[in-house]
A and B are shown apart, each in its own frame.
Chain A
Amino acid sequence: DSGVTQTPKHLITATGQRVTLRCSPRSGDLSVYWYQQSLDQGLQFLIQYYNGEERAKGNILERFSAQQFPDLHSELNLSSLELGDSALYFCASSVTVYNSPLHFGNGTRLTVT
């Protein structure tokens, strides 16, 4: 158990809809990262938050947004969903030193129909 909690585990929704994915980091971790893993693909970095502030942005679509709350949990909002958004979305957390690894949650499997 990595200590990172993601909900829900599975999500099935229709095109055009909006969903929210939730992540609770490990206790004490201030950084939260979101990654997208499409079928048989590697992990694509979407966005990073550190202690409530956006720290880095990757290949995140304008239809997607995220935030980190004062209690350090984070939410990833996906709107105007398209079939191609179907993927496994991972949240990871870490302490603030770069030599510490990222600890991943079990992911949320999003299926857009």
Chain B
Amino acid sequence: AQTVTQSQPEMSVQEAETVTLSCTYDTSESDYYLFWYKQPPSRQMILVIRQEAYKQQNATENRFSVNFQKAAKSFSLKISDSQLGDAAMYFCAYRIPLTQGGSEKLVFGKGTKLTVNP
């Protein structure tokens, strides 16, 4: 079974600084997708960034970027120039296609609570 592990239950960062959230996953598949979702206090689930496993280039979305290490099964999220609005729970998620025996569902980690200090 696929599992996603986020080893940092909580992290904090000073406003304008950079923080990295860790995520590892377990899979025997070669083709899959990885996502980071943000859940602010409003509890809405917001897509932050996604990465295709067959792409070596790390995905970037404005201040958010990932460090994808396929061999190590690691998928960390870096937030640069942290803002107060970045404070949220961050979930790492993994998805495999139906063609490879998956159900296309997302498997989530337990999340990392990020606090941004002014």
Binding site for B on A (CB under 8 A): 2, 31, 33, 41-43, 45, 48, 55-56, 58, 88, 90, 92, 94, 96-99, 101-104, 106-107, 109
Contacts and interface: CB of A to CB of B under 8 A. Distances in A.
Interface in B78-118: 91, 95-99, 102-111
B45 A90 contact: yes
B33 interface: yes
Contacts of A92: 45, 106
The 5 closest A-B pairs by CB, nearest first: A56-B103, A98-B97, A104-B45, A42-B110, A43-B108
A109 B44 CA distance: 12
Contacts of A96: 104
A97 B35 CA distance: 15
21 contacts: A42-B91, A42-B109, A42-B111, A43-B106, A43-B108, A45-B105, A45-B106, A48-B103, A48-B104, A48-B105, A56-B103, A56-B105, A97-B97, A98-B33, A98-B95, A98-B98, A99-B52, A99-B97, A101-B47, A104-B46, A107-B44
Given A43-B91, A98-B95, A88 B102 contact: no
Contacts of A94: 104
Contacts of B109: 42
Interface string B18-36: 0000000000000001010
A45 B107 CA distance: 7
Contact of B43 (A33, A45, A55, A107): A107
B49 to A, nearest CB: 10
Contact of B102 (A42, A98, A104, A109): A98
